[in-house]
Each structure stands twice: as C-alpha cells, then as structure tokens.
Homo-oligomer: A and B are copies of this chain.
C-alpha cells in the first residue's frame, strides 16, 4: 500500500502527471526503489475511481500530459496515512526468518549452514552499500541506503541470536508428530 499513498503525497504539492510521479518517486528514494510506470497509471486510475484524485484538465500543459490533482478526500486519506504506523496486527513476513524457521527440518540441510550463509551475504551487501554511500551527494540516496544498512544489521543480529539458541539446543518442535498448540485443534487423522 506504499505506492498508492506515496502518489497522494507527491500530488499534495501540486498537480502532476504520470511520468513525473514516477520520476519524483525515484528521486525521493535515490533510485533504490524503481517504480514501474505502468503501475503509476493503474494506481492513478484506482485513486480516481475512489475519489482521492481528480483529473485537473486545465490548459497550459502539453496535450499528451494528463494532470491529476489531490481531492479533499485524498488529503484526508494522506494525512491519516502519515500518522498511522504500518499494520501492527499483521506485521509483514520476513523472508530470512521464514527460511530459517522452515530449514531445520529439511533433510540434508543444516540450519546452521543456512544461518551462516545468510549472515555472510548480509555482511557483503552491507559492505557494498557502505562503499556506494561514499560519494554521498544525494541525501535521499544516503538516507535510503542507511535504512537498508540498519535492516541488514538487524538481520545479522537476529541470525546471531538464532545460532546461539540453536547451539544451546533450543529447537522449535521439529517433526510435528503432535501439533500441541493449545488453541489449534489436533488433527487426529494424521497420526498413524
């Protein structure tokens, strides 16, 4: 849901057209997160359908440009988004975490290898980011790179706690001969 609202934010400044929105979005993120043009147009269509954006077809612009402007409802929606944290109740899935949590029961695979693999890869990516940040002209790019650095660092720290716990013998219920979750009902047909 980020793109939808980001477009609203960019339109709050002044009416703009599709391609311009793509360019500005990428400028704000230092070109780290490219935005597909096609998605801009379809998102604009949906925003218009929902009344958050209107076609400001005033003169003064090139004919082939289709200007969109923020409506009052759009402004309300935007302000609400800016003050709301991203979904506490449904925290988005973390691929590395999922990978580790399912890896330990795969035959022929050592979870600790997976952990080490990803730790090393995260480190390498952090080094690449740090190197890339050096020129440091573009503030947007530096900030977004920082966000990636912090996130990778968090991943590495998590992998470390994982390794510590695993070496300490703390393993999640491996082969689920019994699904002993209190809430979830046990599947009686499965056990043989």
* A103 interfacial by beta-carbon distance below 8 Å: yes
Cβ-defined contact, B172 with A140, below 8 A: yes
Q: Which residue of B lies closest to A29 (CB)?
A: B101
Least CB distance from A151 to B in Å reads 5
- What is the interface size of chain A, counting residues whose CB is below 8 A from a CB of the partner? 98
A179 within 8 A of B: yes
A102 smallest CB distance to B (angstroms): 4
Chain A binding site: helix, strand, loop or mixed by DSSP?
Answer: helix
Within the complex, the shortest CB–CB distance from A103 to chain B, in Å, comes to 6
- A56 CB within 8 Å of chain B: no
Contact of A13 among B96, B137, B170, B175 (CB under 8 A): B175
Separation in Å of the A31 CB from the closest CB of chain B?
A: 4
Question: Which residues of chain B come closer than 8 Å to A140, judged between CB atoms?
Answer: 101, 172-173
- In the A-B complex, list the 10 residue pairs whose CB atoms are closest, starting with the nearest: A9-B102, A150-B154, A154-B154, A85-B121, A140-B172, A31-B185, A28-B101, A86-B95, A12-B106, A97-B147
